[in-house]
Every structure is written in structure tokens, then in C-alpha cells.
Amino acid sequence: QSVLTQPPSASGTPGQRVTISCSGSSSNIGSNSGNWYQQVPGTAPKLLIYKNNQRLSGVPDRFSGSKSGTSASLAISGLQSEDEGDYYCATWDDSLNAGVFGGGTKLTVL
Amino acid sequence: EVQLVESGGGLMNPGGSLRLSCAASGLSFSSVWISWVRQVPGKGLEWVGRIKSTHAGATIDYAAPVKGRFTISRDDSQHTSYLQMNSLKIEDTAVYYCTTGVFNSGLDNWGQGTLVTVSS
């Protein structure tokens, strides 16, 4: 049971926009920054979005992040086949004094 | 170019010990925070613990499942971080990643991971 809740799957067709949600609480997303990671099968995760909405250098501007209250979201516009993979949200939890990840969302491009 | 290379993984019996290493290059090692993250094959990511930069006091925090069994350390002169794992359990089986960055601001560099298998 992950501290942060993500939908287990999401899908879209090429060119579409998809959004992945991440629900937390006041002790994690509510008081800290949300970060997003992409993991292509067989490879290490890589940071996409940090501090809620900042794209890491080299990340296409099709990827965007936002935060509202105790939830964070990752939006991917102009979906491409290479966007397929697992996406994880993460943040620090002040009550646990620990880093926490969402359970991950598997994105399929149909 | 930043590179993180983990080593030391392998097959261990329950109750055994193992030390993982993370050798870093291409960055100012003493100023980075190191987090260890693990992933059971086919499952999600789990934060294991972190050691702050030497400049920030090298404070260490651990996830509840490993506290008291795992120890994170760093040797800035060798640009290396270590994860000492004692009293290993079957549920510690995972790929272990070394990462850099302040967790709250994003882990911006990841190693390739090293697989630890705990089985009798």
C-alpha cells in the first residue's frame, strides 16, 4: 500500500493528451514538492518533473506537472509511442521522515 | 557526464549480510545527497534511505522496513557511497539503485542498479 495513490494504468492514442494523478496528504504532497519519474522497462528510472512543475533539462515540453493541495498531476500532450512506460510520483513525507513513491502508473500508447 | 555505478549485488541466504557500493564520477561528490532506492522486479519503487552531503552534516535517514538492519555511509575521498545490509530478509530481494539529489527536489541521477536476491 503506497502512501501516494496513483491509477495503476493509463492509455491514449498518438497525439492525445493524458493526465496521471497522484493523491497524497498534508504531510507529503500537501507540504512538499511533487516529482515525477519515467521508467522504460529494463532501464533505471529518470527524473522528468521536479518541484511540482519544473522540467529537467532535455525533457520535452510535452510533459508538464502541477500540484493542487494534496494532489499532483503529470500531463503528457501530443502522446508518442516512446512515452510508453511506468510513471511514478514521489515526495518527502514529514510525518514518516521518509521519501515516498506512488505505486506507479503504466502508460500504454494504443 | 555524471555516472553512478553500483556493485556488490548477488545471491544471499536469509540472515546474511551484503555491502553494496556506489561509485560516482562527473560531479562534486562531497556536495551531493545520496539516496538508495530499491525495486522488487516487476513492482514499484521504494525509498531505502539517504545520506546528506558532508556540507549538510552527512545526516542519515532510513525507511522503516530497513531501519536497524541497513547502514548507509559515504567516503568522499573515494567518491563512493555504501549500503551495508545485515539480517537480510527474503523481502529485501530487489534491484538497488544509487541516486543523487535532495529527495524533495528530485533524484536527478540514477545508477544502473544492482540485483540483490535473498533466498534459501
Which residues of B lie inside 8 Å of A (Cβ-Cβ)? 35, 37, 44-47, 50, 61-64, 97, 101, 103-108, 110-113
Q: For chain B, what is the mean pLDDT?
A: 97
* SS3 of residue A11 by DSSP: strand
Sign of CA dihedral B102, B103, B106, B109: positive
CA A12 and chain centroid, separation? 16
Eight-state DSSP code of residue A50: E
Nearest CA in chain A to B36: A99
Burial of B41 (0-12, 13-18, 19+ CB in 10 A): exposed
Question: What was the pLDDT predicted at A102?
Answer: 98
Q: Which residue has the cell 518533473?
A: A49
Strand stretches in chain B, DSSP E: 3-7, 10-12, 18-25, 34-39, 45-51, 60-62, 70-75, 80-85, 94-100, 109-110, 114-118
Q: Does A5 touch chain B (CB under 8 A)?
A: no
For chain A, the average pLDDT equals: 97
Beta partners for B50? B35, B61
Return the pLDDT at A1: 81
Per-residue pLDDT tens digits for A85-97: 999 999 999 999 9
Q: What is the mean pLDDT of residues A1-11?
A: 95
Give which of B96, B115, B109, B118 is closest to B33, Cα–Cα: B109
